[in-house]
Structure 1
Amino acid sequence: MADTIMADPATRDVLAIFERARSRLFGRLEGLTDAEYHWEPADDCIGVRPGDDGVFRVAVLIPESSPDVPDPLTTIAWRIWHIGALCLRGYVIHFFEDVPEFGDRHAWPGTAEEGVRALAEDWDHFISRIAALGDERLLAPIGTGPGGWADETYLKLALHALVEVSHHGGEIGLLRDLYLREGV
Structure 2
Amino acid sequence: MTLPDPATRDIRAIFERARTRLFGRLEGLTDAEYLWEPVGDCLSIRPGDDGVFRVAEMIPESVPGVPDPVTTIAWRVWHIGSLCLRGYVIHFFDDVPEFGDRDAWPGTAKEGLQALAEDWEHFTSRIAALGDERLLAPIGMGPGGWAEETYLKLALHALVEVSHHGGEIGLLRDLYLRT
Which of 49, 54, 65 is equivalent to 1:52? 49
1:127 aligns with 2:115: no
Quote the offset at 1:103 in angstroms: 1.1
| % identical aligned pairs | 84
1:151 aligns with 2:151: no
Quote the offset at 1:44 in angstroms: 1.0
1:103 aligns with 2:100: yes
Scaled by the length of structure 2, the TM-score of the pair is 0.98
Scaled by the length of structure 1, the TM-score of the pair is 0.95
Quote the offset at 1:31 in angstroms: 0.2
Amino acid of the structure 1 residue aligned with 2:149: E
Secondary structure, counterpart of 1:49 in structure 2 = strand
1:32 aligns with 2:29: yes
Rounded Cα–Cα distance in structure 2 between residues aligned with 1:105 and 1:61 = 12
Rounded Cα–Cα distance in structure 2 between residues aligned with 1:92 and 1:135 = 18
Match runs of 1:1-184 below 5 Å: 6-182=3-179
Rounded Cα–Cα distance in structure 1 between residues aligned with 2:64 and 2:10 = 38
Rounded Cα–Cα distance in structure 1 between residues aligned with 2:21 and 2:61 = 29
Rounded Cα–Cα distance in structure 2 between residues aligned with 1:67 and 1:52 = 33
Secondary structure, counterpart of 2:19 in structure 1 = helix
Quote the offset at 1:117 in angstroms: 0.3
Rounded Cα–Cα distance in structure 1 between residues aligned with 2:160 and 2:116 = 16
Quote the offset at 1:153 in angstroms: 0.1
Quote the offset at 1:64 in angstroms: 1.3
Aligned length: 177
Which digits, 9 at most, give the CA deviation of each residue in 1:93-147, with x for residues without a partner? 0000000000111100000000000000000000000000000000000000001
Rounded Cα–Cα distance in structure 2 between residues aligned with 1:145 and 1:131 = 19
Amino acid of the structure 1 residue aligned with 2:140: G
* RMSD over aligned Cα atoms: 0.6
Amino acid of the structure 2 residue aligned with 1:148: G
Secondary structure, counterpart of 2:165 in structure 1 = helix
Which runs of no fewer than 5 residues in structure 1 stay unpaired? 1-5
Q: Structure 1 segments of 4 or more deviating over 3 A?
A: none
Which runs of no fewer than 5 residues in structure 2 stay unpaired? none
Rounded Cα–Cα distance in structure 1 between residues aligned with 2:40 and 2:65 = 18
Match of 1:3 in 2: none
Quote the offset at 1:67 in angstroms: 2.0
Rounded Cα–Cα distance in structure 2 between residues aligned with 1:86 and 1:103 = 14
